[in-house]
Structure 1
Amino acid sequence: MTGLLQHRGFVKFWVADAVSMVGSAVTGLALQVVAVVTLKASGTEVGILNAARWVPYLLFGLVAGVIVDRYRRKPLLVGADFARAVVLAVIPVAAAFDVLTLPLLIAVVLVFGTLSLAYDAAHQSFPPSLVPADLLMPANSRLEQSAAVVQTGGPVLAGALIKLLTAPGAILVDAASYLVSGLLLATVRPRTEEVARGTDQPRHLGREIREGLRWVYRSSTLGPLAVTSHVWFVFQGLLTTVYVLFVLNTLALGAFWLGVIYAFGGVGSVIGATASGWAGRRFGVGPAIIACRWVAPVAYLTAPLAGDTTFGIVLLCAGQFVFGISLGVDSPIELSYRQSITPSSLLGRMNATMRSLNRAAIVVGAPVGGLLADHFSTRTALWVGVAGMVVQAVLLTRSDFRHARLTPAP
């Protein structure tokens, strides 16, 4: 930890990241409440709304990776934050003038998703220019810990703000958080070059995209990790959409209890992120991540078994807590592994390929979840999601990824 604090650029990046995540946690819940409670959206419409944020990843994700490898990452981060602050402010303004509709909400989310795509591609490629290679695992663990802390308090804060300010008003908090984040990021000074020499010159877009795809999918370890991650996100998108409908409509527990349940996921993430470095060293990258992939279906198994009783709420909280642990352990190890084996000139394309296609998978899973909930039931849809999570765990377990270890980037 002491070593990381000596790198002021990383500390500012860390703080900026935490500030924006607080706002994002508020908006993540507030958007769902706006759709379900304020606009009376159906399950299918909620699925479309959830998918809308990730459509840009499907359409432009690979191009974003090329841009991140060609140009400096800091201006992309700062610009995306400022733009997202403006875009999100449209929602409370529209609500104030009573012109907020589901199509407008979806349009705002689409634009927001496009800006987030640019930010995310640069975000995961920025830490290697802020800290030396031997501090990448601790750096990613700290970022995951702060994210986990936000996941713990964010949903509860969101529930309180929604009650105090209404859901559109709470989204204004997120807009302000992006503004603060952008100002902080503008003061960051990278310790090394953000882009490999020569890669900021115009080249052949198609060839660069193919280079990124080959690097990911032809690797005996990154390939299986990428493919099973795509499957994971299809069913996570399904589960996330149905989970909100299940808690708010089927169990009728309300936004406050939804926030409390999600907060337990944040507590689990804090614990998992704290233990991730130890788990990666003790068990190795492959075994540690595979174990987390098996925990996910076990954690979600609690949802379709829960009812609207006190025991049901406890069961939901326990499931999110266990799921949070799996995410907290998995994320820093996976990201550090990807960063450690990938050359700087390919970091943007590698991260964009993985992250963009993962998010694009939500475009498939979220609407399917809504359709299953509308045409069958939320419990049936949850069972489908659990089964899908088992499939991705089996596939990764049987792949060469089980032999993955941290190695220096070439």
Structure 2
Amino acid sequence: MTCDSPRGPDTKTVSGGASASGAAVGVAASRRLGREFGKLWTASSTSAIGDGISLTAAPLIASTLTDDPRLIAGVTMALTLPYALFGIPAGVLADRVDLRRSMARIDFFRGGLVLMFALSVAFGWAGLGVMYGCFFLIGTCETFFRNASQILVPSVVADDRLVDANGRLLGAQTAANQFVGPLVGSALFVLAPAVPFGLDSVTFFVSAVLLTRLRTTTPHDRVAPAERPGLLADMTTGARWLMRHRLLRNLSLTAGAINLVYTGSLAVLVVYAHKVLGLGDLGYGVLLACQAIGAVAAAKLSPLLVRRIGGEWTLVCVVTTMAVGDAVIWQTSTAWVVGFALALGACASITWDVVVVVLRQTIIPPSLQGRVNSIYRLFAWGAMPVGAGLAGVVSKGLGATAVYGLGAGIMAAVAVRLVIGARRHWFADAQAQKL
């Protein structure tokens, strides 16, 4: 899971199938936040299970092909590199196309891609090169999909309910992605390595169908096709807007530092679990599942915390908690303590997303959401492949525990920076500018 991510490193934010229990909870959610939000919640929560299954099995396959942490971390690098390469064009396209139709086509493509990868695993063709190529393409699709999905949330929920809606959506996605998914994925991997990916491909196909059933409002100020400037001009417009907005500019750089640490820590977690904690493949899945406890807590805690102490000081608490979590993992080799630290980190990450995503949804003009968000993510997500690569190098040279020690130091420095911003009333100034 990363900052400004409905997930972990990757969930299908507006997608998935519906189980009986998921539908029941979705109906309950819809009574409070609207029927369309209930559809979105049910679909995305169920779909996140498929991603959790696949993203748990991928490092396990890589660890059977090599014991070099740099090559294992390469899977995460391949998945996140497109965020830096294609983030800006994806944001421009998100402001130009029919979002639901484009997202459905992407999910059909990803479903076919993951299905082919599952077959390659089943027949023994899936080497590291095949894995890198497959996950690079998945990440490329996800770059557009994530941008588009966040733009849709304000189209199904009123502005004054965005904190609650994003909290429930992100919390449920993470619980499915990092609790049910890892447990099922690690168990299915033990049964047969290809099965987790086959199941994930099904969720992509179901997602594509359900996207056509979601009814959203269309922003009234989208630029008509005949009036649109060129792609380069569109990119420049988004960059200028973000660079002039002090708060969002600073938050994008801060999110980059956080994602550098968080992605790196997850990229070598399988190595840490096997070599330091002595866990097997199923134990690794259980360790990942511990994050869901924090995600569920965040869904309830984050709106209360924001209302009690404000968004600025909530972010200070978030990053301080992340620093403490990394320090705990650095200093211990007890599995249950590490699981508790991962739960803390997940709770903090979801809370960050709730605060910052809502801030962007309310401050950025609707017609610029895609373009400005793409520039924001260039800084925030562009650090992810760098973090994965650096973590692999550090783990190879100094051991996996060193990754978490360095992460704790970086997070402590970021927390100090956020304290300075909170004392200067960043959020209040931003709201005043908007008014």
Instruction: Provide TM-score, normalisation by structure 1.
Output: 0.92
TM superposition shift of 1:33: 0.3
Aligned partner of 1:137 in structure 2 is 163
Corresponding residue of 1:299: 325
Cα distance in 1 for residues equivalent to 2:426 and 2:180: 36
Q: How does 1:372-391 map to 2 (within 5 A)?
A: 372-391=394-413
> What's the counterpart of residue 345 of structure 2?
323
What residue identity is the alignment partner of 2:38?
V
- Do structure 1's residue 174 and structure 2's residue 197 form an aligned pair? no
Asked if the contact 1:290/1:402 (under 8 Å) is kept, the reply is: no
Contact 2:52 2:185 in 1 (8 A): yes
Structure 1 unaligned blocks of 5 or more: none
RMSD between superposed Cα atoms in Å: 2.1
Paired residue type of 2:46: V
CA contact under 8 A between 2:219 and 2:367: conserved in structure 1?
no
> Contact 2:103–2:211 at 8 Å: present in 1 too?
yes
Residue type matched to 1:35 in 2?
A
Give 1:11-410 correspondences, 5 Å limit.
11-37=38-64, 39-150=65-176, 151-164=178-191, 166-193=192-219, 196-198=222-224, 202-307=228-333, 312-399=334-421, 402-405=425-428, 407=431
Aligned partners of 1:200 and 1:272: how far apart in 2? 44
Answer whether contact 2:80 2:381 (CA < 8 A) is retained: yes
Q: Distance in 1 between matches of 2:245 and 2:431?
A: 14
1:356 Cα deviation from its structure 2 partner: 4.1
User: In 1, are the aligned partners of 2:88 and 2:375 still within 8 Å (CA)?
Assistant: yes
Residues in 2 aligned to 1:200 and 1:290: alpha-carbon distance in whole angstroms: 45
Instruction: Output one character per residue of 1:160-187: Cα deviation in whole Å (capped at 9) or x when no partner.
Output: 22222x2322111111111111111111
- How far apart in 1 are the matches of 2:280 and 2:244? 46
C-alpha displacement at 1:115, in angstroms? 0.8
Counterparts of 2:243 and 2:194, CA distance in 1: 41
Secondary structure at the counterpart of residue 284 of structure 1: helix
d(CA) in 2 for partners of 1:286 and 1:41? 42
Moved more, 155-164 or 312-321: 155-164
Name the aligned partner's letter for residue 380 of structure 1: A
Could you list the runs of 5+ residues in structure 2 that have no partner in the other structure?
1-27
Q: Are residues 188 and 371 of structure 1, via their aligned partners in 2, closer, same or farther at CA, if it must alter by over 3 Å?
A: same
Residue 198 of structure 1 deviates from its aligned partner by 2.1
Deviation of 1:250 (Å) = 3.1
Q: CA deviation at 1:222?
A: 0.8
Contact 2:51 2:200 in 1 (8 A): yes
Deviations 1:268-309 (A, max 9, x none): 1111121111111111111111210111010111212222xx
1:372–1:378 Cα contact (<8 Å) kept: yes
Verify the 8 A CA contact 1:264 1:321 in the aligned structure 2.
Answer: yes
Shift, 1:199, TM fit: 6.1
Is the CA contact (8 Å cut-off) linking 1:266 and 1:324 kept in structure 2? yes
| CA drift at 1:125 | 0.8
Post-superposition offset of 1:20: 2.1
Partner amino acid, structure 2, of 1:372: V
Distance 1:369 1:2, change over 3 A: closer
Find the aligned partners of 1:160 and 1:201 in 2 and give their Cα distance. 53
**Superimposed CA distance per residue, residues 226-252 of structure 1 (whole angstroms, 9 cap, x where no aligned partner):** 111111111112211222211123333
Distance in 1 of aligned mates of 2:59 and 2:417: 32
Aligned partner letter, 2:295: S
Kindly provide the amino acid, as one letter, of the partner of residue 363 in structure 1. Answer: P
Q: Structure 1 residues 158 and 302, CA, compared in 2 at 3 Å: closer, same or farther?
A: same
Q: Percent of aligned positions with the same letter in both sequences?
A: 24
Cα distance between partner residues in 2 of 1:275 and 1:10: 20
Q: State the shift of 1:47 in Å.
A: 1.9
- Alignment partner of 1:126: what SS? helix
Q: Distance in 2 between matches of 1:200 and 1:370?
A: 48
Aligned pair in 2 of structure 1 residues 334, 253: CA closer, same or farther (>3 Å)? same
Q: Is the 8 A contact 2:91 2:372 kept in 1?
A: yes
Native 8 Å contact 1:4 1:131 kept in 2? no
How many residues are matched?
404
Tell me the amino acid that sits aligned with residue 146 of structure 2: D
Secondary structure of the structure 1 residue equivalent to 2:290: helix
Q: Classify 1:356/1:90 alpha carbon distance in 2 versus 1 (closer, same or farther; 3 Å).
A: farther
Residues 277 and 335, structure 2, Cα contact 8 Å, conserved in 1: no
